[in-house]
């Protein structure tokens, strides 16, 4: 499934990383919050700090619009135990350790004028396993969708064959879930993406954001793979 992609884009995308430096192209693991459909809000039973109930909590499940009303309620008091202001809320996210690709450099010491915490954050794209190391497609994925991803059909994902270095045969970068991560929460690099493939990924990010695929090499590969899929489906 992925061999045509490897052949067209010339070579192995993932390489051994012998450097501990966190920089674009390295693959690490970190704790990633799962984006909720419904927000589970941790609500104190009392905002009176002298009350024992200020240290007891309940969970309120809210959709987007009720949460906006909750945060903009002028009568909502701050809560000091939770460390939130009147226009803030604490959400109980589910989190998972996930492999991510580092996309940006952290700010250097020469960057001035930013709050101190800015220099500790970089952008990362999470990697999701599509095909296990033994060739089995993960049960949560439709086989046709996996074929479409590998054929470069979708702008929001980019396939990354990995084999042993990623403990999977094919993974996919989720560009619609790029998020900031503090550098200190990243593991040491477990692998890296080669310079050529990192260039392809950067072009795909531009394609995702603008709808314009500037790289002719990628355009031709995408056209060929999609045509090949059509031929196979018609047989």
- How is 45-86 classified by DSSP, letter by letter? S---TTSGGGG-EEEEEE-HHHHHHHHT-TTPPPBTTTTB-T
Within a 13 Å sphere around the CA of 101, how many CA atoms are in the beta-carbon half? Answer: 29
Which pLDDT value is given to residue 113? 77
Q: How far apart are CA 218 and CA 155, in angstroms?
A: 12
Instruction: Give the H/E segment covering residue 233.
Output: helix 216-234
Which pLDDT value is given to residue 22? 93
Nearest in space to 122 (alpha carbons), one of 139, 134, 99, 106: 106
3-state secondary structure of 124: strand
Q: How far apart are CA 57 and CA 46, in angstroms?
A: 8
3-state secondary structure of 219: helix
| C-beta separation of 57 from 44 below 8 A | yes
Which pLDDT value is given to residue 233? 72
The per-residue pLDDT string of the chain (235 residues; one tens digit each, 9 = 90 and over) reads 567 777 778 778 888 898 889 999 999 999 988 888 899 999 888 888 788 888 889 999 999 999 999 999 988 888 888 888 889 999 888 889 999 999 999 877 777 777 776 778 899 999 999 998 888 999 999 999 999 999 999 999 999 887 667 778 889 999 999 999 999 999 999 999 999 999 999 999 999 999 999 999 899 999 998 988 888 776 6
| C-beta separation of 166 from 191 below 8 A | yes
Domains of the chain and any CATH numbers? 3-35+95-234 (2.30.30.110), 39-91 (no CATH)
Output the pTM of the full model: 0.86
Paired strand residues for 120? none
Structure tokens at 41: 């809000």
Structure tokens at 11: 């070579």
Residue 94 CB neighbours (<10 A): 10
φ and ψ of 151, to 5 deg: -85, 10
Q: How far apart are CA 103 and CA 27, in angstroms?
A: 10
CB within 8 A of 199, min separation 6: which ones?
Answer: none
């Amino acid at each position: 499934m992925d061999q045509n992609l490897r052949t067209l884009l010339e070579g192995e995308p993932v390489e051994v990383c012998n450097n501990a430096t966190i920089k674009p192209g390295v693959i690490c693991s970190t704790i990633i919050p799962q984006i909720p459909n419904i927000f589970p809000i941790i609500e104190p039973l009392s905002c009176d700090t002298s009350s024992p109930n200020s240290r007891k909590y309940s969970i309120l499940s809210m959709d987007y619009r009720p949460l906006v009303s909750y945060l903009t309620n002028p009568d909502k008091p701050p809560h000091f135990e939770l460390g939130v202001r009147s226009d803030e809320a604490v959400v109980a996210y589910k989190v998972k350790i996930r492999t991510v690709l580092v996309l940006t450099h952290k700010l250097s010491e020469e960057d001035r004028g930013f709050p101190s915490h800015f220099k500790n954050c970089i952008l990362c794209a999470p990697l999701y396993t599509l095909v296990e190391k033994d060739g089995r497609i993960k049960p949560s994925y439709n086989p046709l969708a996996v074929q479409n991803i590998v054929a470069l059909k979708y702008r929001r994902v980019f396939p990354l064959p990995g084999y042993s270095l990623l403990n999977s045969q094919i993974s996919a970068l989720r560009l619609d879930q790029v998020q900031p991560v503090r550098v200190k929460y990243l593991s040491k690099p477990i692998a890296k993406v080669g310079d050529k493939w990192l260039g392809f990924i950067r072009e795909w990010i531009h394609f995702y954001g603008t709808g314009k695929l500037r790289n002719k090499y990628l355009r031709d590969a995408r056209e060929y793979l999609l045509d090949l899929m059509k031929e196979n489906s018609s047989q």
